[in-house]
Amino acid sequence: MNARRPALTYCLLAVLLLALTTLLAACSDAENPTPVITTTSATSAAPALTATSVPPTPIPTLTATPIPPTATAVPTATPVPPKPLVIGLITSRTGAYAAYGEMLERGFMLGLNYYTQGTNKINGHEVKVLIEDDSSDPDKAVAAARKLVQQEGAEILVGTPGSPAAQAVSAVNDTELKKIFMATPVADPSLAGLSFSRYLFRLSSSPDQAVMTGATYAATLASATRNERIASFYPATPAGQSLNTTWKEAALATDDNISWVEVAVPTTATDFTTYIQKVLNANPDVLVLNWSGSTTAKLYLQMQAKNVFSEIDTISPVGDGTSLKAAGDDLIGTLGVSSYWYQFPKTAENDALVKAFKDKYNTFPDLYVPDGFAAFSAIQAALARTGGDTDPEKLIPALEGMSFATPKGKETFRKEDHLALQPMYIVRLLRDNTGTYAFPIPQLIKELSPEEAAAPVRKS
């Protein structure tokens, strides 16, 4: 029994040691949550534990079922509207040329409506017309041009009625603004002549075209007579002398056998009897009459008293309705050169213009209305050639030699000087027996084609 005591003691100590070790491990676990892996030596006094192999529990295979993605609403981008086409219209709502300015503005806006078919768009671009009144003053016209281009972003300029104002705008446009300038209505022949600008394209007819039309017809009349003589009655000014020379050159180019009699009259004259007698003494077959201003009515009255108009075929440029009204019955029976009378052209454009003008303004379109109408046609046709590009370096070659539709028919910008070649008309002024008009009305005698009425190129 005593011999077994050491073995029992040994066993008790081992149990106590094992319990103490477990207690210490438990305390260690409580203090340190991270498990500590202790490797037991093979020579440890603790009995070895034999691990029994336990088959691993199989992990079930999960088949993923595709979940359709949640559609995310993509915001629709608001389309950016195309940039508007800005056109600057310089006109005269006040001042000496207000009547012509009104014709220009009305014609241009009716042309815009007609050629865009009421959409007010070219190639999807809205057309924005900005209008400035130059008060018939060259300085104000220049200020208007600068404002339209530099502040308002105008890409093309149109206007203006007064020749001095148009000259001033053309000069500053040439050196500073450099935009296409559709000049109308202007009288000065140097615009598309000696004052040529590569940016300027002239819509209104030049006096040179009226001269070619009238002189050719006057020469034809004189050539059919025994005398073959033409008298020219004009103001004794540089401009008047230049006009006389132009008529003479054109007439002699038609028939160099014609005698040309010159009657230059001081602008200060109020009694024209002496000068009228010079005409009668020359016994001409045709009288070319170039006179304007406040003394015109008195001149016509004195010529009527001397039976000039009844004895001599007299030919002169025909103005607008206001000019015809001022001349009154004194012009009845005389011949004239006209760039437009609303009853002459037989075109769809003219029919549309006359109807729209009558519907809106209850009257007929006067002399310069079709030029404003034609200006928009030219712009649209040129932009069609450039694909809407308003760069002057693209528009200039597009415009040069370009033909476009107008109320008068086809017109063409001559490449050499940018003058719009267009039909012109020989008329005779007759009394209106219908009571519709308070002035003599033009009756068509002959229409000259654009080529027949083409003036010499005078570009410097």
pLDDT by residue (tens digit) across 396-406? Answer: 999 999 999 99
- Type of residue found at 195: S
- Answer yes or no: do 143 and 165 share one domain: yes
Looking at the structure, do residues 368 and 283 belong to the same domain, yes or no? Answer: no
Note whether 182 and 247 are same-domain residues.
no
Half-sphere exposure of 310 (CA within 13 A, CB side): 8
Q: What DSSP string describes 169-181? A: HHHHIIIII--EE
Residue 238: predicted pLDDT: 86
Question: Looking at the domain assignment, is residue 96 inside a domain?
Answer: yes
With pLDDT > 70 as the criterion, what percentage of the chain qualifies? 83
CA 306/CA 281 separation, integer angstroms: 12
Backbone φ and ψ for 301, nearest 5 degrees, come out as -65, -40
Q: Do 185 and 301 sit in the same domain of this protein? A: no
Q: Within a 10 A sphere around the Cβ of 361, how many other Cβ atoms?
A: 13
- Same domain, yes or no: 325 and 348: no
Instruction: Look at residue 313 and tell me if it is in a domain.
Output: yes
HSE (side-chain half, CA atoms, 13 Å) at 168: 19
**Total number of domains constituting the chain:** 2
The answer to whether position 4 is within a domain reads no
Assess whether 106 and 215 both reside in one domain: no
With respect to residue 326, please indicate whether it lies within any of the assigned structural domains. Answer: yes
pLDDT in tens, 174-193: 999 999 999 999 988 899 99
End-to-end alpha-carbon separation of the chain, Å?
151
Phi–psi pair at 410, nearest 5 degrees: -70, 130
Mark which of 338, 365, 382 sits at the end of a domain. Answer: 338
What counts of helices (H) and strands (E) characterise the chain? 13, 16
Q: Is the Cβ–Cβ distance between 192 and 200 less than 8 Å?
A: yes
Domain termination residue (choose one: 321, 338, 355) = 338
**Secondary element (H or E) of residue 165:** helix 163-172
201 with 346, same domain? yes
Query: Does 260 reside within a domain?
Result: yes
- Looking at 296, 322, 338, the residue that finishes a domain is 338
- Kindly calculate the radius of gyration of the chain based on its CA atoms and give it in whole angstroms: 47
Q: Which has the closest alpha carbon to 449: 427, 428, 415, 424?
A: 424
Beta-carbon contacts of residue 40 (< 8 Å; ≥ 6 apart): 46
pLDDT tens column, 24-62: 344 344 444 433 333 333 333 333 434 344 444 454 444
Whether residue 295 lies inside any domain: the answer is yes
What region, left, alpha or beta, does residue 174 occupy, with left being phi > 0 and alpha being psi -120 to 50 degrees?
alpha
Domain assignment of residue 411, yes or no: yes
234 within 8 A of 265, measured Cβ to Cβ: yes
Global pTM reads 0.80
| Burial letters 378-399, b for 16+ CB under 10 A, else e | bbbbbbeebeeebebebbeebb
pLDDT(447) > 90: yes
16-24 — which CB contacts under 8 Å span 24+ positions? 18/46
Bigger pLDDT: 78 vs 106? 106
What's the CATH code of the domain at 298? 3.40.50.2300
Domain contains 304: yes
What amino acid occupies position 225? T
DSSP 51: P
Confidence of residue 110 (pLDDT cuts 50, 70, 90): very high
**Residue 2 phi, psi dihedral angles, 5° rounding:** -65, -30
Q: Are residues 304 and 392 in the same domain?
A: no
The helix or strand, by DSSP H or E, that contains position 288, with its residue range, turns out to be: strand 286-289
Return the pLDDT at 69.
Answer: 55
Whether residues 167 and 270 share a domain: the answer is no
Token pair listed for 143: 């200020």
Supply the range of the domain harboring residue 351.
85-205+342-422
- CB count within 10 Å of CB 408 equals 25
Residues 321 and 236 in one domain: yes
- If we measure between CA atoms, which residue out of 196, 200, 162, 198 comes closest to residue 181? 200
Are 213 and 201 in a shared domain?
A: no
Confidence of residue 71 (pLDDT cuts 50, 70, 90): low
Whole-angstrom distance, CA of residue 116 vs CA of residue 113: 6
Q: How much is the average pLDDT of 98-122?
A: 97
Tell me the pLDDT tens digit for each residue of 213-252. 999 999 999 999 888 999 999 999 988 898 899 999 999 9
Which sign does the torsion angle of CA 117, 339, 341, 136 carry? positive
Q: Round to whole Å and give the CA distance between 53 and 4.
A: 37
Q: Residue 81 is which amino acid?
A: P
Percent of the residues in the chain that have a pLDDT greater than 90, as a whole number: 70
Q: What pLDDT is recorded for position 72?
A: 57
- DSSP string across 419-441: BEE--EEEEEEE--SSSS-SS-E
* Residue 41 phi, psi dihedral angles, 5° rounding: -70, 145
Average pLDDT, the chain: 86
pLDDT in tens, 255-284: 999 999 999 999 899 899 999 999 999 999
Where does the pLDDT of residue 67 fall: very low under 50, low under 70, confident under 90, or very high at 90 and above? low
Domain co-membership, 99 together with 191: yes
